[in-house]
Chain A
Amino acid sequence: AQTVTQSQPEMSVQEAETVTLSCTYDTSESDYYLFWYKQPPSRQMILVIRQEAYKQQNATENRFSVNFQKAAKSFSLKISDSQLGDAAMYFCAYKGNKLVFGAGTILRVKS
């Protein structure tokens, strides 16, 4: 069975600084996708970034980038130049035969 583990229940970052959220996963599938979703208090899930497992190059979307280590089954999210609007719950998700989510990390941004 596929599992996703986020070991940081909560993280804090100062505005304009950089923070990294951790995620590991377990799977026996060879073809899959990985995602980071953001969920603000409104509960609307918003896609932040995605990574295809067959691509070695790490995905980047503006201030958001990932460090994908396939052999280690690790998929961390780096947020640069943090902004107050980045404060939310962040979920790591694995998509193979099923779409499975981690427990989430609450990100707080201090001004």
Chain B
Amino acid sequence: EAGVAQSPRYKIIEKRQSVAFWCNPISGHATLYWYQQILGQGPKLLIQFQNNGVVDDSQLPKDRFSAERLKGVDSTLKIQPAKLEDSAVYLCASSPRWGNTEAFFGQGTRLTVV
């Protein structure tokens, strides 16, 4: 079974530029998560989708971050404009059912804002 796919693996941009990350969850997984993990800290949930609907986005900085999940499958996370403090690893995860079983993670995208 293929795992959660994320791209790109690494990205370096200048502040005030825009960037987009892509995630392809495991086939059939209804729930998709985006996390921001700053070095040395635990993952912070940015947004959680159930199929193509948003379950929680309370910690998503909506003035600069946006996310969508088209047709309940792939998802993109966008930052515009980026700030220095956005430098982090962005993790995507998926799980088969809401409220049940563990989440499976991709390898993450490491973003550096200079």
CA distance A86 to B14 in the complex (A): 37
Most buried by B among A96, A99, A102: A99
State whether B108 touches A43 (Cβ < 8 A).
yes
Number of interface residues of B (CB under 8 A): 24
| Pair A100/B45 contact, Cβ less than 8 Å | yes
- Tell me whether chain B's interface is mostly helix, strand or loop, or mixed: strand
**Complex CA distance for A42 and B106, rounded to whole angstroms:** 11
Closest-CB distance, A96 to chain B (whole angstroms): 7
* Closest residue of A by beta carbon distance from B108: A43
Which of these, B35, B103, B110, contacts A95 with CB under 8 Å?
Answer: B103
Write the nearest CB–CB distance from B43 to chain A, whole angstroms.
5
Contact B42 A42 (CB under 8 A): no
Centre residue among A32, A33, A43, A104 by max chain B CB count within 10 A? A43
Interface contact A104-B56, CB-CB below 8 Å:
no
State whether B48 touches A99 (Cβ < 8 A): yes
A31 to B55, CA, bound (A): 17
CB A44 to nearest CB in B, in angstroms, measures 6
CB pair B89 A43 closer than 8 Å = yes
* Binary A-proximity of B53-89 (CB < 8 A = 1, otherwise 0): 0011000000000000000000000000000000001
In the bound complex, how far is the Cα of B48 from the Cα of A96, in angstroms? Answer: 12
Closest 6 CB pairs between A and B? Answer: A45-B105, A101-B42, A103-B42, A101-B43, A104-B42, A47-B102
Which residues does B use to contact A, with CB under 8 Å?
33, 35, 37, 41-45, 48, 55-56, 89, 91, 93, 95, 99-103, 105, 107-108, 110
16 residue pairs of the A-B complex, CB under 8 angstroms, read A31-B99, A33-B102, A35-B102, A43-B107, A44-B105, A44-B107, A45-B43, A45-B105, A50-B102, A97-B55, A98-B48, A98-B55, A99-B93, A99-B95, A101-B45, A104-B42
Binding site for B on A (CB under 8 A): 4, 6, 31-33, 35, 42-45, 47, 50, 91, 95-104
